[in-house]
């Protein structure tokens, strides 16, 4: 079963033109700065926004499993009892309660995609699959990509490339553009900050480049994690040697925008308090300089 946690229309940062972006739930990585922590688990999750809650306790009254109670910090969900049945979401008058993760039929998703074709056609846009990690759902993803192809819709897959080479190779046949994050070149550090080593990612990236696929590389630039001279030089060297045509990276300066989402999920952002900061202008310019000396164009931002 493939769950989706968002469908975003009029998106302009997920590939060329105006796009519809489908967010698939589940990711094999768990980067500590992840902007979409609700995309990590493959399962449905309950989310609660305290500032929207008026304390009416309708949810408490209607929960069939007595999983909710009002506390001085708002409504508390006892996850041992919650069955993710959606009752509290249905009765909450302020939309303070949400369930992240919905299963849609492929026909429904295609109808949603097709509704956007007027904007795609005018802007050179299309559809983007991201997550989470869309490659965790190869059958669903491939079927949607294939159906989009038959309609002439431009297809982008935003991926970590942490998947088997077989899956990457099958998806490659049905994809026009890959958006790939390059996070850390040191595999040990990648494992520590993202939960998995990076060797599979780098070899898949090489495979996609060698196949001549269109690639857009993005680097989330985080002071304290990957904005150091050594990592940036290693990244630039790796990308310089990659046989890809575009030779362009997007540097995405870090912001702790996921903090609110962790609050909604009832989880803690960066629980080990690992120091992370937005890089200074000086650091960004130095990174730009390093990439440029490797003949790679730099764009700062999405």
Q: Out of 13, 17, 28, 56, which residue is the one contacting ligand SF4 (CB under 6 A)?
A: 56
Q: Which residues pair with 23 in a beta bridge?
A: 6, 130
Interaction between residue 290 and ligand SF4 (CB under 6 A):
no
Residue 42 or 184 having the CB closest to ligand SF4: 42
Q: Out of 12, 54, 151, 274, which residue is the one contacting ligand SF4 (CB under 6 A)?
A: 54
User: 89-95 — which CB contacts under 8 Å span 24+ positions?
Assistant: 90/62, 91/58, 91/59, 91/62, 92/58, 92/59, 93/54, 93/56, 93/58, 94/52, 94/53, 94/54, 95/49, 95/52
Instruction: In angstroms, give the least distance from the CB of 82 to ligand SF4.
Output: 3
Main-chain dihedrals φ then ψ at residue 62, nearest 5 degrees: -90, -15
142 near 174, Cβ under 8 Å? yes
Residue 172's closest CA among 152, 151, 154, 145?
145
Residue 57 or 260 having the CB closest to ligand SF4: 57
Instruction: In angstroms, give the least distance from the CB of 263 to ligand SF4.
Output: 14
Residue 99's closest CA among 114, 89, 112?
89
Instruction: In angstroms, give the least distance from the CB of 99 to ligand SF4.
Output: 7
Residue 177 tokens read as 């553009």
User: x/- site string to ligand SF4, residues 28 to 47, per CB under 6 A?
Assistant: ------------------x-
Interaction between residue 207 and ligand SF4 (CB under 6 A):
no
Interaction between residue 164 and ligand SF4 (CB under 6 A):
no
Instruction: In angstroms, give the least distance from the CB of 77 to ligand SF4.
Output: 5
Residue 75 or 249 having the CB closest to ligand SF4: 75
Torsion, CA 57, CA 61, CA 63, CA 67, rounded to 10 = 70
Choices 15-23, 74-82, 132-140, 265-273; region in contact with ligand SF4 by CB under 6 A: 74-82
Residue 42 tokens read as 């493959």
Residue 100 or 198 having the CB closest to ligand SF4: 100
How far, in whole angstroms, is CA 135 from its chain's centroid?
12
Instruction: In angstroms, give the least distance from the CB of 184 to ligand SF4.
Output: 37
Interaction between residue 251 and ligand SF4 (CB under 6 A):
no
Residues 81-140 that bind ligand SF4 (CB under 6 A): 82-88, 91-94, 96-97
Interaction between residue 69 and ligand SF4 (CB under 6 A):
no
Cα 300 from Cα 105, distance rounded (Å): 37
Cα 174 from Cα 197, distance rounded (Å): 27
Residue 3's closest CA among 165, 143, 133?
133
Query: Contact residues for ligand SF4 (CB under 6 A)?
Result: 46, 53-59, 63, 65, 67-68, 75, 77, 82-88, 91-94, 96-97
């Amino acid at each position: 079963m493939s769950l989706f946690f968002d469908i975003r229309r009029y998106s302009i940062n997920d590939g060329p033109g105006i796009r519809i972006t489908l967010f698939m739930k589940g990711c094999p990585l768990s980067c500590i700065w992840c902007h979409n922590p609700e995309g990590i688990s493959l399962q449905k999750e309950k989310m609660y926004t305290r500032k929207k809650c008026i304390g009416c306790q309708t949810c408490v009254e209607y929960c069939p499993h007595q999983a909710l109670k009002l506390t001085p910090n708002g409504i508390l969900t006892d996850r041992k009892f919650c069955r993710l049945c959606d009752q509290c979401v249905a009765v909450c008058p302020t939309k303070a309660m949400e369930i992240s993760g919905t299963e849609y039929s492929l026909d429904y998703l295609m109808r949603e995609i097709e509704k956007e074709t007027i904007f795609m056609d005018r802007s050179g846009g299309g559809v983007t699959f991201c997550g989470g990690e869309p490659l965790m759902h190869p059958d669903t993803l491939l079927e949607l990509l294939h159906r989009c192809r038959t309609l002439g819709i431009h297809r982008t897959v935003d991926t970590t490339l942490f998947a088997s080479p077989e899956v990457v190779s099958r998806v490659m046949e049905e994809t026009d553009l890959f958006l790939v994050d390059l996070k850390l070149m040191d595999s040990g550090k990648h494992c520590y900050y993202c939960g998995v080593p990076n060797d599979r990612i780098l070899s898949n990236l090489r495979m996609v480049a060698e196949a001549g696929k269109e690639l857009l590389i993005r680097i989330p630039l985080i002071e304290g994690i990957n904005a150091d001279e050594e990592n940036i030089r290693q990244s630039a060297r790796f990308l310089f040697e990659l046989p890809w045509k575009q030779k362009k990276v997007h540097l995405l300066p870090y912001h702790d925008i996921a903090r609110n989402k962790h609050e909604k999920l009832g989880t803690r952002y960066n629980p080990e308090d690992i120091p992370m900061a937005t890089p200074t202008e000086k650091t960004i310019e130095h990174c730009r300089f390093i990439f440029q000396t490797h003949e790679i164009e730099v764009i700062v931002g999405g």
